[in-house]
Structure 1
């Protein structure tokens, strides 16, 4: 089984069984797809992982275990948004109430998938 399939299976099992894979106070997001910013229809599987934690009153993101990156938090309607300061605010994580997320990264690349846990 490839790594993406294994991670997706593990996340699905955790969500189905009600188990919490994410540590307390951690939002863990796993992308299933990435799409190019300059060609919306050009998409491919992805295994990007993002973790969001609050440390000493600050929001921190780890992107594929790189970080921490400081992030500004805001509510956009019912969505939660973390905007990464290190990249001029161009990179951001948008989280829907149902746990679905979109992360906008380098060159407008969009990653989408599912999050679990909470900050």
Structure 2
């Protein structure tokens, strides 16, 4: 959970957007704890196959999503690097308030992966 929160906070700019993303991350962690307490049922003892399979599927989904995000962030950073020369001129003409409104669409923003 701490790594997911850190990754999210590094890749989202803007106060409101970052607040919503942080709240959503914490909320999903809480929901995961709630679900986790119900997937290991007494009737599945002693092997708890349902609970283990549920966890494996969830981990696989998380892995695939993280991989897709990683590839997207790399692609987006390369695209922004190619356009860096023209966008540097554009950002120089913007005020700090206008740059803040762009959030993570700022031309000088790079994603961490």
TM-score normalised to structure 2 length: 0.22
The structure, 1 or 2, with the larger RCO (C-alpha pairs under 8 Å, 6+ apart) is 2
Higher strand share goes to which structure?
Answer: 1
TM-score by length of 1: 0.21
